[in-house]
Structure 1
Amino acid sequence: MTLPDGYGSNHENKVCKLKKTLYGLKQAPRMWNEKLVNVLLELGFEQNLGMLKYFLGIEVLKTKDGLCLSQRKYCLDLLAEFGLTGCKPVNSPIEANHVLTYLCEQDNQVLLDVSVYQKLVGKLIYLSHTRPDIAYSEHYLSQYMHSPTNAHFKIALRLLRYLKGSPGNGILFKKGASLDLRAFADSDWGKCVNSRKSVTGFCIFLGNSLISWKSKKQSTISRSSAEAEYRAMCAATCEILWLLNILKELKVDIKLPVSLFCDNTAVISIAANPVFHERTKHFEIDLFFLREKISKGVIKTVGVTSENQTADVLTKGLPVQAHEKVCKHLGLFNCFAY
């Protein structure tokens, strides 16, 4: 800042102090907040919000078992906005083993008002912050944001009908002495008919509480189901490493190795066998990455049956009974039902 006229050489090493923060500066929001807080304190207000109960549409509820995060009001407002408050609910967010492409013979007409679909999916994305049971459906619908058809919009409305049956469901952080990390990784090989890319799904538990999950289409095409599963395990391993760093900064000691559950015996064999195979050379980097973490004692691969694969709900639509079983494993809880 240029010094005012009249300042001599004695003031060459001095700067001017602003009495009022200018708009557009990075420090402006912080300075205005500091000014507001000081004024309110001078007027006699106390800076004490108490226990957290509601934040950005997420309700924080205490139960005898722990802490529940729910978006019940947000979900009910969403149903009312699209006129489905009185609709008949369904028991699953998406049909089991569904296949839908742009070449489907029925309802393949592009929506005239794309903004309605985009608005709905955008709100569903925010709702999935406490609803891992809709993560795959939301991931699937978000792939058609620019040119959705009537068929896609019907799937989105079906998802709303599913939410109508359990608007109060949320994530329950359970009390417990264990702070061990556990992860489940799964994939659905060649799920996307248009690109033949597979879907990765993983969920990670701290003790008995779900703390991280993801449903995402893989960036490359896998040539076998084993390759797709292996890529899913590597994605889960990256998330585990990030969580370990966060927990370390919070002074939380985590017992190693972290158990990574997979229902593909071939993948577990490949991860345990240090011998390089010709048929695995197209995902060589992933091989070395996961094997390195196993050899260092960070990750331990564990086999699990397909019936007990919790990450299944993040890669495909499941039958009603299987979907309800996985929801219990994820720790979904409805505080408003009691």
Structure 2
Amino acid sequence: MDVQNAFLHGDLDEEVYMKMPPSFASSSSEKVCKLRKSLYGLRQAPRCWFAKLAESLKKFGFQQSSSDYSLFTFRDGAVQMNILVYVDDLIISGTDDVVVQRFKDYLNQCFHMKDLGKLKYFLGIEVARNSEGLFLCQRKYALDIISETGLLGAKLAKTPLEQNHKLALATGPVLKDPAPYRRLVGRLIYLTITRLEFSYYAHILAHFIQQPK
């Protein structure tokens, strides 16, 4: 599910003022506006929105995970629901369709929600279903990494790194802009969600993330 205009739902717990909008006619340029609600572009907006959402979920009976604050769990006898939150997007899974629908109706009363249907794609992860269960794939995400690094036409290799091989420290100059390398390593680490065999490679490359040469 997707929350429409999520940041506008946040409640400010501190005094925040802003300059007058350019189109607002005012006799004095020294006047400012006091915000009563959170706005997009406000630094506090994401925190205020998440606090509002967490409060609503806990009121329904959810408990927030202490290891992952974006995960909320609901248990009532044999019924269980899990909510995973990413900004204004919510993944809902549950063991009882009736309870899940009741929860969706509750969310619509709290916020302006949009039901996007069954999960198909989320944060670079493709979700497919069959009679055996769910299948997670990051094919498009992996192709984006290969394309971004200019290796789309490279030949495949079954063993790109020898076992127990240690990379020697380079003696050349430090990269002027290490951001692309760090971004690449970060993306490879995220790729290990579904491709565990890449964990070793990502681990080796991360050794040089501080001063890549």
Give the TM bin, normalised by the shorter chain.
0.3 to 0.5
Q: Which structure is larger by alpha-carbon Rg, 1 or 2?
A: 1
Structure number with higher relative contact order (C-alpha < 8 Å, ≥ 6 residues apart): 1
Question: Of Structure 1 and Structure 2, which has the larger fraction of its residues in strand?
Answer: 2
Q: TM-score, normalised by structure 1?
A: 0.31
